[in-house]
Structure 1
């Protein structure tokens, strides 16, 4: 609600008074904020890593520099790796923790190392023994993150209780200046030589015309690698096309119609090895369509990690039982199937009712007309005979 004019003027006066008081207080206070020298810690020496084989390990060269004017009395270096990587051994001055996926961040393993020593301005340091990282059997497209600070980052409440390492403690030692580091947080990709087999499973449906039948199709990552979708990358979609002659009564919540096909998401930014999704539908069988067959397929974005394309598509079959030849739920009143057949020679359509089933070739209408004519002729003959007898 707008403020009345006189209140607005009073508010401006109050703000002006507070501002003046604040300026007087700042002028009389000691110069404690802008003039105090503070450390500014940055990390470097980290480059993207590729060509890693599952089961192997590598040392992580990290440098820590102080670009500020003040000394950091204590330093914490935090390492984080996604679930395809792990730490081979952790020094006793480090705490490790597993943090589960949340807020679209994948599962991670952390190691936070505390260095109780001064880091001077303008000096570059490095751990005397690089932290070693190993690639698990599920490694593929992983991420490594290193962060430095002069405040304890603490444990993540979404993870396990931190555990101290058992390897000998490590200190920081002076290192030769290298590439200029400019940030306190660095993230780099770690790419492993591995594969993941994405596959889909179809369904076999059976029912009569008019029935509503359940349908479940599946997507599975058979591994061995997990797959992390890079930021900005296109998410996998599972394309479900029901068989002809059916209509969708209910679809999975994550599936959206795109014409006759439904596009279903995986519901996650990454797909773990062994991970699977089941998509449940309810279909109504509207009519019988000869040879009707649907499908479930993977979307078409490039997946160089998945060389086996034979299981990227599966059939959805439909066996319609009962009903007439055209799939109608019932026959005619005289017990016929109520269908129709076409004469390929004459190009005409004939009813396939009870008369046709007797083998007679006489059309029903002409047969009825002939019966009427025969009955009329007999009646006329009887009348003539009676008139002749009365005259005699």
Structure 2
């Protein structure tokens, strides 16, 4: 498939041909300062000795994506065309010679549409244009795999250099380690009888499935809106949720400057408390341990508004009898599962004469106690139907409701409600109706077609809309 960068190059090549002789098409002269360009990519790769999940015969994704970063950012002209800031041949050399006997190297996804020349463990790629920034300067990916010769502790580097007239390149080095620390997390389950408002004493632990031990571990905790982490431990930092953010989350980061061995499991010296709000329902908690030296912790703390915890320090304890089957690369759980919400639809009763246009309100409310988040589906809306009273014509409808003229429709209008729905949410859907015929007790309704899981009161999931009711309003 042709990449976006290739399309940009093709467009700009035609455009620049038409502008021959202008400043855009002239390479840098000898008197000009060379354009400073840096090679980008990861600083290091840890190659696992554990087999990856998936089809054994299928090639895996590249662990290394290389690119170039030039000064500035790409800015399209009035026609939406992005022009390169340099034209002229240049060459990028990717030298993985030191990985001989360490890992297998696959260069097949380097170079994109132009490709590269490969000689053993050295790839040479040529190109002509460089764009501002890095979005349109992809060099491609490199896939590394362990072999029968690979052993824990094997180490090598990939050296990336580049050269071209009028260009000053800064190269890049990728360190490659085989069988380094690789931490898997214990899977958790909601305690029996747990309910919203309780505190989960989470028994967090990790198992190092790598071939080498290390020193320095960082625990990261994440909790969605209904979860929070009390500032309990002195070696943890806490970034509390902004109460005004609908998708706000709580985070915590704990640092352990301790050694850990290969093929061993470690748990916390005390459970990690996770508080749940009274409105919590299927909130998401995730955690991860990672091997991070102490001198890199400051960079992690700079990523959030972390505040130091109080109290004793949390430690790590070796777990000699940990079952490997209980650990995996990712660990997360949705809880509490026992809370309920109360979705309520209400109609309206009113009188109207023939030819009169009236406003009819359909009310929606959540009486809680839980919110309805649908976090796993990305805030997918829920919907309800509206059947309008006979003898009327709709003159106006809410923006979030659409006329349902298709086969299989279960009402006149289908209305959507965006999620998350807070535990005290309410809103009104107003229809304009013209009365074409006065019918006593003309009845429509707003209704859900099914009862949602965790609905605590299905009895009010529909409401009648009545025009000219018999008796008093």
Same fold (TM over 0.5): yes
Q: Distance between the aligned counterparts of 2:305 and 2:209, measured in 1?
A: 34
- With over 3 angstroms needed to count, the CA separation of the structure-2 counterparts of 1:71 and 1:224, relative to structure 1, is same
For 2:441, which of 291, 294, 300 is the aligned residue? 291
Query: How many residues get paired?
Result: 306
For 1:143, which of 248, 263, 284 is the aligned residue? 284
For 2:264, which of 115, 123, 148 is the aligned residue? 123
For 1:265, which of 380, 397, 416 is the aligned residue? 416
For 1:110, which of 251, 265, 268 is the aligned residue? 251
Please tell me whether residue 84 in structure 1 is matched to residue 226 in structure 2: yes
Q: Is the 8 A contact 2:382 2:418 kept in 1?
A: no
Bigger CA drift: 30-39 or 273-282? 30-39
The 5-angstrom pairing of residues 260-339 of structure 1 reads: 260-268=411-419, 270-303=420-453, 305-319=454-468
Q: CA deviation at 1:256?
A: 2.5
- With over 3 angstroms needed to count, the CA separation of the structure-2 counterparts of 1:34 and 1:133, relative to structure 1, is closer
The 5-angstrom pairing of residues 363-374 of structure 1 reads: none
Please tell me whether residue 31 in structure 1 is matched to residue 134 in structure 2: no
- With over 3 angstroms needed to count, the CA separation of the structure-2 counterparts of 1:143 and 1:24, relative to structure 1, is closer
Q: Is the 8 A contact 1:52 1:135 kept in 2?
A: no
Listed one character per residue, the Cα deviations across residues 275-297 of structure 1 (whole Å, up to 9, x for unaligned) are: 22322322222222222122112
- With over 3 angstroms needed to count, the CA separation of the structure-2 counterparts of 1:150 and 1:35, relative to structure 1, is closer
Q: Distance between the aligned counterparts of 2:337 and 2:302, measured in 1?
A: 27
Greater fraction of residues in helix: 1
Q: Is the 8 A contact 1:51 1:191 kept in 2?
A: no
Q: Is the 8 A contact 2:348 2:362 kept in 1?
A: yes
Bigger CA drift: 236-245 or 86-95? 86-95
Structure having the higher Rg: 1
- With over 3 angstroms needed to count, the CA separation of the structure-2 counterparts of 1:241 and 1:147, relative to structure 1, is same
Listed one character per residue, the Cα deviations across residues 184-241 of structure 1 (whole Å, up to 9, x for unaligned) are: 4211232354332211122234444333333321211101122333646996322222
Q: Distance between the aligned counterparts of 1:106 and 1:297, measured in 2?
A: 28
Q: CA deviation at 1:315?
A: 1.6
Q: Which runs of 5+ in 1 are unaligned?
A: 5-9, 321-392
The 5-angstrom pairing of residues 331-370 of structure 1 reads: none
Bigger CA drift: 207-216 or 111-120? 207-216
Q: Is the 8 A contact 2:187 2:327 kept in 1?
A: no
Cross-structure match for 1:71: 213
For 1:202, which of 331, 347, 354 is the aligned residue? 347
Please tell me whether residue 215 in structure 1 is matched to residue 360 in structure 2: yes
Q: Which runs of 5+ in 2 are unaligned?
A: 1-9, 15-88, 91-110, 125-154, 158-174, 406-410
Q: Is the 8 A contact 2:186 2:204 kept in 1?
A: yes
- With over 3 angstroms needed to count, the CA separation of the structure-2 counterparts of 1:15 and 1:230, relative to structure 1, is closer
RMSD of aligned Cα (Å): 3.9
Cross-structure match for 2:142: none
2:429 is paired with a residue whose SS is strand
Q: Is the 8 A contact 2:206 2:327 kept in 1?
A: no
Q: Distance between the aligned counterparts of 2:445 and 2:461, measured in 1?
A: 11
Q: Distance between the aligned counterparts of 1:36 and 1:196, measured in 2?
A: 50
- With over 3 angstroms needed to count, the CA separation of the structure-2 counterparts of 1:98 and 1:212, relative to structure 1, is farther
Q: CA deviation at 1:148?
A: 2.1
